[in-house]
Amino acid sequence: MDFRSFEIEGPLEIIPGKIEDERGYFSEIFRLNSFAERAGNVQFVQENQSLSVRIGTIRGLHFQTAPFAQGKLVRCLAGRLLDVAVDLRADSPTFGHWLSALLSPASNNQLWVPAGFGHGFCTLEPDTIIGYRVTSYYSRDHDKGVAWDDPDIAVAWPGVADAETLSGKDRSQPPLRDLPRYFSVKDSQCA
């Protein structure tokens, strides 16, 4: 299992190995001790899955606030997607910066998005299924977001990104400059 870090401290791309033969492959996709050594001591409490039928579907940029701030371990189960994390830790030197990873079943990779980051994605193939484990339960009262197309963040979404696919909630998220400072670097190390 390989772990790749980014210029933004906290998130990790995890690339599980595969043992392949003529029947297919076997892959250990999660190992707590290896994960905890790099990401910290986290406990997953809920697993979510969503299907996006159309290419270019945009979901995000979402996060939850304390005491339900979530770290997310994200994988693509079918199709292909660009997964994005935005640093929302007010005291971070990379506040407002973003990173991305292409996730697909063929790549067998995952993205760890710690608490303190906004998360979103854009589908690159039809019928894309995303699955992710989270470190806190969903709470409607703590469910927040930031505008997916905020020019101050300037995510380089793929050319297929289709604003028509946005949910009503995602169409009305505030820009980064209007977002309360919900997180600090210390918060992202806890969840």
Active site residue ranges = 62, 132
Residue 164 neighbours by CB distance under 10 Å: 8
The torsion defined by the Cα of 28, 30, 33 and 35, in degrees rounded to 10, comes to 130
> What is the distance of C-alpha 45 from the center of its chain?
16
CB neighbours of 166 closer than 8 A, spacing ≥ 6?
Answer: 58, 148
Residue 63 and residue 78: Cα distance in Å, rounded? 23
